[in-house]
Amino acid sequence: MPARFLHLVRHGHYEADAEDALGGSLTDLGREQAKRVAEALSPLKINAIYSSSLRRARETAEIIAAKCGDQEVQLSTLLWECVPTVPPRWAAIMAELAKQDPDYAPEQIAEDRKRADRAFQQYFRPTNSGDDVHEVLVAHGNIIRYLLTRALDVDEHAWSRMVAYHCSISRVLVEADGQMLVVGLNDVGHLPFEMHSDQ
């Protein structure tokens, strides 16, 4: 039976300081990381590339697309970075952060969770194609880790106990009956050790 293979790629290293809501661009390191992940994905027949519309993810996705059959990158705000839950071990820290940063306010976290759940419903579903489908999702560390907890059907806070390096690949197989298998997590085998980064 045909299956959907989702290749979840975190964007490359980027400039953290930005003057607009779309965030910073990739650094030289981030562009090189993106070239390496594009090379790793290039042997696959990629059917679609979806990306967060935040700048660092879009730039990463465009580098991948240029190497993988020049696919059109389909942008979505569903894949934006988020804080999907408040893990108990971080509750006090997040409560303090919420006093200065509205991104950590309880109502914003609730909205982030809803958006991440919509992303899961949209992308993590069986294919209706007659053949296997390979799709790339370029997104951000927190949302990728949260989507993986959904695929694994584990504790909703488990995302906070994973790591997602820049331009790592995590892979999920969605079978024809909707069952999911995580077949790769934070794979950075395509990056030399000195290119490993997560901040």
Tokens of 5: 């293979």
**In sequence order, which ranges of 16-132 are alpha helices (DSSP H)?**
28-41, 55-67, 91-98, 106-123
| Res 70 pLDDT > 90 | no
| Res 62 pLDDT > 80 | yes
Q: Given this model, what pLDDT does residue 89 score? A: 92
Q: Given this model, what pLDDT does residue 16 score? A: 86
CA angle 10, 113, 181 (to 5 degrees): 55
| Res 58 pLDDT > 80 | yes
Cα(170)–Cα(68) distance, integer angstroms: 18
Percent of the chain with pLDDT over 90: 91
Say if 86 falls within a structural domain.
Answer: no
| Res 181 pLDDT > 90 | yes
**CATH code, domain carrying 160:** 3.40.50.1240
User: pLDDT-based confidence at 141, cuts 50/70/90?
Assistant: very high
Tell me the average pLDDT across 132-150.
97
Q: Domain tally for the chain? A: 1
Say if 68 falls within a structural domain.
Answer: yes
Say if 104 falls within a structural domain.
Answer: no
| Res 18 pLDDT > 80 | no
- Beta-bridged to residue 74, according to DSSP, are 50
141-152 helix and 106-123 helix, angle to the nearest 10 degrees:
60
Percent of the chain with pLDDT over 70: 99
Say if 94 falls within a structural domain.
Answer: no
Taking a C-beta distance cutoff of 8 angstroms, is the pair 169, 94 a contact? no
- Residue 49's nearest CA partner among 36, 35, 33, 38 is 38
Say if 87 falls within a structural domain.
Answer: no
DSSP state of 43: T
Say if 100 falls within a structural domain.
Answer: no
Say if 88 falls within a structural domain.
Answer: no
- The residue type of 76 is S
Say if 59 falls within a structural domain.
Answer: yes
User: pLDDT-based confidence at 115, cuts 50/70/90?
Assistant: very high
| Res 19 pLDDT > 80 | no
